[in-house]
Structure 1
Amino acid sequence: MDNHDWMYTGRRSQNQVTREWIQKTEDFLDKAFGVGAQAATEVWCPCSECANRNRKTRKVIEEHLCKFGFTPDYTRWVCHGEGHRIRDEALRPRLEEFDSDGGVPDMMDDFHQAHFGVRCTDKTEEQEPEETARAFYRMMESAKRPLHDKTNVSQLDAIGRLMGLKSMHNMSRDCFDSMLAVFGTLLPADHALPKNMYELVKLLKALKMLYEQIHTCDNGCILFRKEHAEAKYCPKCKSSRYVEVESSDGQKKQLGIPMKVLRYLPFISRLQRLFMSEESMKHMTWHKNGIRYNPDKMVHPSDGEAWQTFDGIYANKALEARNVRVAFATDGFNPFGMMAGPYTCWPIFVIPLNLPPGVLLQRQTIFLSLIIPGHPGKHMGVFMEPLIDELISAWDHGVLTYDRATKRNFTMHVWYHYSMHDFLVYGLFNAWCVHEKFPCLVCKAALQFIRLKSGGKFSSFDKPRQFLPLDHAFKRDIKNFTKGVIVTDPEPQKMIGAEVLAQIDGLVAKEDGVGFVGYGVQHMWTHKSGLERLPYFKHLALPHNIDVMHTEKNVAEALWATLMDTDKSKDNPKARADLARLCDRPHLEMRPPRAGKTWRRPRGDYVLEKKHRMVVVQWIKDLMFPDGFTANLKRGANPSTGRVLGMKSHDFHIWIEHLLPSMVRGFVPEHVWVVLVELSYFFR
């Protein structure tokens, strides 16, 4: 790095400057207004008064430098053409366990490009960043200086490494403060390392995201916010907001500990951050400007009918490529492990759908927005209130956001596009019971399932015939489906968004306040999800999606158990008893017991014989897979017992898509094998 000591040694006062200072100041200004400035008439003023916070012309900067001198410690001209040297000159030691720089060099490059990079090519005037972006850039500017004058590691880089160590080793605050104090004594006297955790957090304040802790009713009736913010008891079930203990006089006393806490992280500010980097900003417009190399294939949600239909209805908002569509995803899990107590929490993630396919589901672009304590059940709509409120505000009013590429502010509108989850969570999000006789969330009550007398569950057996053309031969088949039944019913009509919204608005609560009138007869609505509050809900053609991974895993697990005749096989005595009532397949019906024996279950031609199962398990044991192709499939194969244990979702994924056709070839009849191959190809 060049020696820039002349900036401070050559000027003692306004009237005492050396010839070297004058000459090198002129050279500095020539460089600042040279090629790197892209013919700009104003650059950041480096005087001690402006401190690189205001843009000035060359003449004004000359006057300011003569009057005030250079801003202190400005030895790396990152605001005037030396920003690219930050990463080239900073030689940092690395720790193998984690990325020691924490992405700070990339962040500094983005900061430099946002202020001093490529200028706008049009004639529009650049704008100052909006408040949140300005605070972010101001923090970055203050943290870009070196940790001390003998190193190239920036203050922010050093803080990032130390915070990484704190998180990795779970250090307490006192331990971290002590470590900072020791490091401070080992560094030169003019170092910029914060003295304690308080100063460090204060410096990083602009990087932090908003976070709210919202108290909830213990039964999930309400959130203690808005009109209930000061309430101490739930107005519906009268349960206490705080933990109650019995005092010495026998009276109950509330402590300051809430019964339940909903943790809410607003996601709009996270979306704004995506526009503060030029690379991610370009990604946020890919859905409209990205290149489709296979235009005949749907490679992105924007290629789907639901997206394009919505764009046609709300053309004004769809015209702005920077407006953001988001998806929700959730599922429950036990944060303490499977062997811990029976506790569950439900995180809700927000995914911006503007991003290209290769970036869409990366970890850094999936934002955690809600952490619901316990199973939400019928109160999912209550817990979703803050998220829905934020969506409504972002749709109606928009959010002022700074676009780093154009150097201008714009109003960003955000709206909900769909949700992704398994079938059971589908029912929670849609507020429709999927366990009873109307489980289809598209047709609603227009499609009624049958209840299996022996199995005790509702089944869609023989219902797909309704969706076939009226002249299809299967509709008149009385042998291979429900015996003696000819299907004459037309295809059920799918309910559109306006019809669903009208039905929800027409729900009448029961007198006892539990459920709605007509439940189980006319509808299966269990609660209101909150999504119906969205102004555009009735125009969402596909508001919910079933996750392919869960569907594939469930189908593959049931199919494996049936083929291999394990304890979890769907071909059990109860299924055979129901088959005898519904179908004309006497060769599969249960055989009466002989003397001293139990009922016999004839083997179906879709079940592998025992000797074939042993061959299959040995074949799996001998298979050679590429590294990382599958996890425990080979390891769990036990030829002596004819079982494959420990199969996970990825194992079932590999099995049904790649191994199934070869595994059963020659062991099942040709017509069964063809169906299995078509199923495998469908998932692939």
Structure 2
Amino acid sequence: MFTLRAAVMWTVNDFPAYAMVSGWSTKGYMACPVCKEDVTSGWHAGKVCYLGHRRWLPWDHEWREKDKEFDGNTERRLRPREWSGDEILEQLNRLDFAPFGKTVSRTRPSTHMNWTHKPMFFELPYWSKLKLRHNLDVMHVEKNVFDTLVGTILDIEGKTKDTIKARLDLERMGIRRGLWMNRDSDKARRDLAFFSMKPNDKKEFLKFVSSVKFPDGYVSNIARCVNVDGGKFTRLKSHDCHVFMQRLLPVGIRHLLPEDVVKPIMLLSRFFSQLTAKTLRKTDMFQLRHDIVQVLCKFEMIFPPAFFTSMMHVMVHLPEEALLAGPVNYRWMYPIE
């Protein structure tokens, strides 16, 4: 006879469930559960967006001094500091949370920031000592990033972040005059942006995707998800987006978009390819930590602020989690879903 003991290492869940198990709401101006109240967010095109990725650049980087290329301001701040488990526990112990129940008011005091409740995991004596308690699910992050990126470069109605509101937001900020609404005629119109494919190029790209053949069992039949005449994709699953992002996207866009747009997208594709590898090297993760900051900063110079959802932002934290916890294939939702 022996006593069997078990320990909870971490949790693996999608972003909404992350809020429930961590106690930190993943909505609003402080949606990032890693940056917490120090995240850079703002109201753009009718929603909260997350910018300010120059904070992760070296202090003397030239991009910190540029303003019109980014959000109209220079960047002097350092990256957000990381909270230790003991600091989080101390903060939670000082807060007074309302009891659970449908009749209880859900209005949180400003002192609570985005804390909604104290997680039960902190009853475990070792929980506050863990460096990684909750994993950002790479599967859902990659899927959402893919949807945002492809929807924008293909200018798919309902999925693109380059909307009329986004263009008006650029005018309000006084940046990127080339993307402002065209008011030459009686009515203002949104011209096709330089980072979106022209109709003929879009058809060529979709035909290329529908013509690609994969080995049996490698991926589902992506050709059935391509609507060439409609200029969009339908019924793409998470794994389809995973393969698309890493294998098809960098090849398909090379001669269809400007070089300044293609390079960061290819770097993003390589980022996910190396991050999701079965074997990780510390040197590679250090390089990915540098690369993803470069990608996000270049995206800030290309796409409107409305492009930067919470899923786009949390990519900056993925290499750090890989350094702490190892390969992603043990910490994502594919085996669960």
- What's the TM-score, normalizing by structure 2? 0.74
Aligned equivalent of 2:61, options 459, 469, 472: 472
State which of 96, 105, 116 in structure 2 corresponds to 1:508.
Answer: 96
Question: How far apart are 1:510 and its partner, in Å?
Answer: 6.1
**For 1:510 and 1:530, how far apart are their aligned partners in 2?**
15
Equivalent AA in structure 2 for residue 548 of structure 1:
V
Does structure 1 residue 498 correspond to structure 2 residue 86? Answer: yes
C-alpha displacement of 1:645: 2.5
Contact kept, 8 Å, 2:67 with 2:74, in 1: the verdict is: yes
* 1:546 equivalent in alignment to 2:139: no
Q: Distance in 2 between matches of 1:458 and 1:660?
A: 28
Q: Deviations along 1:11-46, whole A, 9 cap, x unmatched?
A: xxxxxxxxxxxxxxxxxxxxxxxxxxxxxxxxxxxx
Which whole-Å CA distance do the structure 2 matches of 1:464 and 1:536 have between them? 33
Residue 467 and residue 644 in structure 1: after superposition, are their counterparts in 2 closer, same or farther (change >3 A)?
closer
The Cα of 1:621 is off from its aligned counterpart by 2.4
Contact 1:429 1:529 in 2 (8 A): yes
User: Which one of the candidate residues 212, 228, 241 is aligned to 1:639?
Assistant: 228
- Identify if the C-alpha distance between structure 1 residues 617 and 443 changes in structure 2 by more than 3 Å, giving closer, same or farther: closer
Residue 666 of structure 1: CA displacement? 0.9
Considering fraction of residues, name the structure with more strand: 1
1:441 aligns with 2:5: no
User: Which residue is equivalent to 2:77?
Assistant: 489
How big is the shift at 1:680?
0.6
CA–CA separation in structure 1 for the residues paired with 2:20 and 2:26: 9
SS at match of 1:559: helix
Q: Say if 1:445 and 1:522, in contact at 8 Å, map to a contact too.
A: no
Instruction: Answer with 1 or 2: which has the greater Rg.
Output: 1
1:667–1:517: structure 2 CA closer, same or farther, 3 Å change rule? closer
Q: Note the C-alpha offset of 1:641.
A: 3.3
Name the SS of the counterpart of 1:439 in structure 2: coil
Note the C-alpha offset of 1:419.
Answer: 0.6
Match of 1:415 in 2: 7
* Shift of residue 541, structure 1, vs aligned partner: 0.8
Does residue 1:606 correspond to 2:198, yes or no?
Answer: no
Residue number in structure 2 paired with 1:262: none
Listed as ranges, the matches of 1:299-338 within 5 Å are: none
From the two aligned structures, give the one with the greater helix fraction: 2
SS of the residue corresponding to residue 12 of structure 2 reads: strand
Q: Distance in 2 between matches of 1:641 and 1:449?
A: 34
Unaligned regions of 5+ residues in structure 2, if any? 274-337
Change (3 A) 1:622 1:530: same
Tell me how far apart the structure 1 counterparts of residues 212 and 104 of structure 2 sit (CA, whole Å): 59
Equivalent in the alignment of 1:681: 270
Q: What amino acid does structure 2 have at the position aligned with 1:527?
A: H
Of 132, 152, 166, the residue aligned with 1:575 is 166
Instruction: State the secondary structure of the residue aligned to 2:224.
Output: coil
Work out whether residues 466 and 487 of structure 1, in 8 Å CA contact, stay in contact via their aligned partners in 2.
yes
Q: Which residue of 1 aligns with 2:115?
A: 525
Tell me the SS of whatever aligns to 1:635: helix
In structure 1, give the amino acid aligned to 2:93: D
**Distance apart, 1:515 and its partner CA:** 5.0
Which amino acid is 1:495 matched to?
Answer: W
The whole-number CA distance in structure 1 between the counterparts of 2:106 and 2:228 is: 53
C-alpha contact 1:442 1:494 (8 A) present in aligned 2: yes
Instruction: Rate the CA distance shift 1:447–1:522 in 2: closer, same or farther, 3 A.
Output: farther
Q: Provide the C-alpha distance between the structure 1 equivalents of 2:237 and 2:106, rounded to a whole number of angstroms.
A: 38
Cα separation, 1, equivalents of 2:27 and 2:173: 21
2:283 is aligned to none
Cα shift at 1:676? 0.9
Match of 2:46 in 1: 456
Structure 2 distance, partners of 1:672, 1:635, is 28
Aligned length: 269
SS in 2 for 1:504: helix
Instruction: Output one character per residue of 1:566-599: Cα deviation in whole Å (capped at 9) or x when no partner.
Output: 111111111112222235200001122623xx42
Q: Displacement of 1:646 after TM fit?
A: 2.2
Q: Does 1:629 align with 2:218?
A: yes
Rate the CA distance shift 1:509–1:655 in 2: closer, same or farther, 3 A: closer
Instruction: Check conservation: 1:553, 1:652, Cα contact below 8 A.
Output: yes
Aligned partner of residue 412 in structure 1, secondary structure: coil
Q: Check 1:615–1:471 CA distance in 2 against 1; reply closer, same or farther (3 A cut).
A: same
Deviations 1:403-440 (A, max 9, x none): xxxxxx33332211111112221111111112111112
Indicate the residue corresponding to 1:566 in structure 2: 156
Pairing 1:664–2:253 present? yes
Q: Distance in 1 between matches of 2:204 and 2:151?
A: 16
Match of residue 427 from structure 1: 19
Identity %: 32
Q: Matches of residues 110-125 of structure 1 in structure 2 within 5 Å?
A: none
SS in 1 for 2:88: helix
Structure 1 residues 514 and 644 mapped into 2: Cα distance closer, same or farther (>3 Å)? closer
Residues 616 and 600 of structure 1: is their aligned pair in 2 closer, same or farther, counting only changes over 3 Å? same
Cα displacement (A) at 1:480:
0.9
After superposition, the Cα gap between the structure-2 partners of 1:603 and 1:514, relative to the gap in structure 1 and judged at 3 Å, is: same
Q: Name the CA shift for 1:435/1:593 in 2 (closer, same or farther; >3 Å).
A: farther
Mapped to 2, the partners of 1:625 and 1:586 lie a distance apart of 43
TM-score, scaled relative to structure 1? 0.38
Offset of residue 668 of structure 1: 0.8
Alpha-carbon distance in structure 2 between the residues aligned to 1:625 and 1:517: 51
Q: Give the structure 1 partner of residue 185 of structure 2.
A: 594
Task: Report the CA distance shift for 1:583/1:535 in structure 2 as closer, same or farther (over 3 A).
Answer: farther
Aligned position for 1:123: none
Alignment of 1:193-342 (within 5 A): none
- Which residue of 244, 267, 270 corresponds with 1:655? 244
